[in-house]
Amino acid sequence: MADKTTLQYTAEHEWVLVDGDTATVGITAYAADKLGDVVFVDLPAVGTEVEGGVVVGEIESTKSVGELFAPIDGTVAEINDAVVDTPELVNSDPFGDGWLIKVTFTELPALLSYDEYSAIVGE
């Protein structure tokens, strides 16, 4: 997908790739590692209105259930069906084929840079 140093991040361990008025969202390798082996992903339906900071889905692993937060206000434009069918993509390629949703938006909130996110997780 993109070089992780050029992505934007949230404190909830999600990455955001902005392309025009669409944001592709996934969880970071740090989050995927902390979750463990992902076995189930529940994503919002296309067309769902989402609000930044609000839970929009779940990621279940062999050891816990994590919540997926919308990083921005907008409308779900696309979900990654491959991740729903093959949840382990979240672990094997979190910054590529393991992306979760695409959201169209009108205003992008302040997000973290790679350096700011790295400082939070101690990388």
Question: 93 pLDDT exceeds 90?
Answer: yes
Query: Which domains can be identified in the chain, with CATH numbers?
Result: 9-107 (2.40.50.100)
* Tens digits of residue pLDDT in 16-25: 999 999 999 9
* Tens digits of residue pLDDT in 98-123: 999 999 998 989 999 999 999 999 87
Question: 37 pLDDT exceeds 80?
Answer: yes
Summarize the confidence of residues 1-6 as an average pLDDT. 78
The predicted pLDDT at position 38 comes to 96
Question: 7 pLDDT exceeds 90?
Answer: yes
How far is 12 from 111, CA to CA, in rounded Å?
11
Q: Tell me the helices (H) and strands (E) count for the chain, helix number first.
A: 4, 9
The predicted pLDDT at position 75 comes to 98
The predicted pLDDT at position 5 comes to 87
The predicted pLDDT at position 43 comes to 97
Contact yes or no for 72/23 (Cβ under 8 A):
yes
The model's pTM = 0.94
Q: Which of 52, 53, 46, 9 is nearest to 28 (CA)?
A: 9
* Tens digits of residue pLDDT in 41-80: 999 999 999 999 999 999 999 988 999 999 999 999 999 9
